[in-house]
Amino acid sequence: MDEEVCAPVKARRSGGRGARVALRSAPLEEGKRPVRAGLPGGQYAPLSEAAVLRIHQAALEALEVVGLANAPASGIEAMTRAGAVLGEDGRLRYPRALVEDMLAKAARGITLHGRDPRHDLHLEGTRVHYGTAGAAVHVVDLETLDYRESTAQDLHDAARIVHHLDNVHFFQRICVCRDVTDNFDMDINTLYGALAGTTKHVGTSFSDPSHVAGCFDLLHLVAGGEEAWRARPFVSNSNCFVVPPMKFAEESCITMEACIRAGMPVLLLSAGQAGATSPAPIAATIVQAVAECLAGVVYVNAIAPGHPAIFGTWPFVSDLRTGAMSGGSAEQALLTAGCAQMHRFYGLPGGAASGISDSKLPDMQAGWEQGITNVLAGLAGLNLCYEAVGMHASLLGFSFESLVLGDDLLGQALRCVRGIDVTEDSVSLEVMKEVCLGGAGHYLGSDQTLKLMQTEYIYPALGNRMSPKEWNEAGRPLLLDAAQKRVADLLAQAPSQIDPATDLAIRSRFNIHFR
């Protein structure tokens, strides 16, 4: 019996570590990977059930008593027709029954499409997806440690890199095309730079309502016609429809209305800053963000009941010593997780900020800030974790190297979200009996270990797990050097995601600034 047990173990170990590494490197089918887009979170809940209800009631009271100012005439007409009340002070107020009616009409279980259906994002329940955002105005240059102005080429190259990062599930504008001086051209280059770089879902914004029609002309060219676009809208509008506290942003609202009519999903983005444009208490900041986004739900569904809209409670934290934004703080992590709970309470697809670093470089500070905020957002079941990778200096800077390092970090975060599989097989004692009662005395070569080494465990692409001896023998490789190499390798192999004929048609019509 002992020989029968031990002999297969010796045979399996004959390949040694190299065989295990080779097995680990073999690609897996999407459904067998240890992590993937849309894993269910929700294990973490910083708010009690009573606290969630209290925040909900406070938000409803804020909408009834305080209301929102500065709605455009078209928005006032739509929302008062639905039941909102326009006061003599010009503020729209929302009876509770109206909010509840519109919540009942609001879209749930929506899909944000990619141009490739493999990248579709199914937003329901606590399914978690990580992606970019941020609109940085600078790029971090690791060679000089300078912050240089971002360009259209930078945005396009970032999209090309994200296309090849398994754990970054969507691409929203990560930097501003500061080399494009005309605002319409900037909106066009932002949109097309993203689409030419990736077939994942893209988020964008428009700087002026008058630009929407031209940008949709471009979208219809890429989609192959308006009908094809409306069947699978692969871009969403990130819309700052409010200027906290409790005021509408008129031009953004008009843009939102145009996007709704054109069949584009919208992100209802409320981005107050605690202690500055929203109250200092974390709970009260959530109340204001929820109230503002509930007003957005009324707005959208008064125009087009059931239109796909994302509940974008996206408040930020201030360092109250200086008033500066602190996106990498523990308070930010709690704030985002609390917002995720409110999304779950309403049963609406939700998005918020996670992964921002206040550090100027991809260093240890960036690691702990991005790790804490992304893990808590995922564990809280946030559907869309925006700004999850690449962002530094509280969104002022963007780093290519941080993108690829962030892909590793998000893999680990997703593994935390997936949790521990407790099944009949996973707690069976049969393998333990085999190993301990006359076997090899370890599990290294067992069939169970080899079977699970890819499906139960995730391995970093760049993170270094060598022993000190191995590290010395390998020439003491540094993490940032590896990140720079991976950026270069990805850009060298990432072609345009637009066919040449369509690209030529677009470049002949629009002023495109990137290669």
**pLDDT tens by residue, 436-449:** 998 888 988 888 88
- On the question of pLDDT at 450 being above 90, the answer is no
Give the model's pLDDT for residue 190. 98
Rounded CA-CA distance 204/191 in Å is: 6
Q: Which are the contacts of 257, defined by CB distance < 8 A and separation ≥ 6? A: 74, 75, 303
Assess whether the previous peptide bond of 117 is cis (omega < 30° from 0): no
Give the model's pLDDT for residue 25. 59
Tell the residue number behind the tokens 């509840």, with chain if given: 100
Residues 450-463, mean pLDDT to the nearest whole number: 90
- On the question of pLDDT at 166 being above 70, the answer is yes
Q: What is the CA radius of gyration of the chain?
A: 25
Per-residue buried b or exposed e for 489-513, using 16+ beta carbons within 10 Å of the residue's own CB: ebeeebeebbeeebbeebeeebebb
Give the model's pLDDT for residue 280. 94
Give the model's pLDDT for residue 2. 41
| Percent of the chain residues past pLDDT 70, beyond the cut | 95
Confidence of residue 13 (pLDDT cuts 50, 70, 90): very low
Structural domains of the chain in order of their starting residue, each with its CATH number: 2-36+421-493 (no CATH), 103-419 (3.20.20.480)
Confidence of residue 17 (pLDDT cuts 50, 70, 90): low
**pLDDT tens by residue, 248-302:** 999 999 999 999 999 999 999 999 999 999 999 999 999 999 999 999 999 999 9
**pLDDT tens by residue, 110-151:** 999 999 999 999 999 999 999 999 999 999 999 999 999 999
Please tell me what DSSP assigns to residue 460: -
Rounded CA-CA distance 512/14 in Å is: 57
Of 251, 245, 235, nearest in space to 270 by CA: 245
Of the listed ranges 84-93, 219-228, 312-321, 481-490, the least confidently predicted one is 312-321
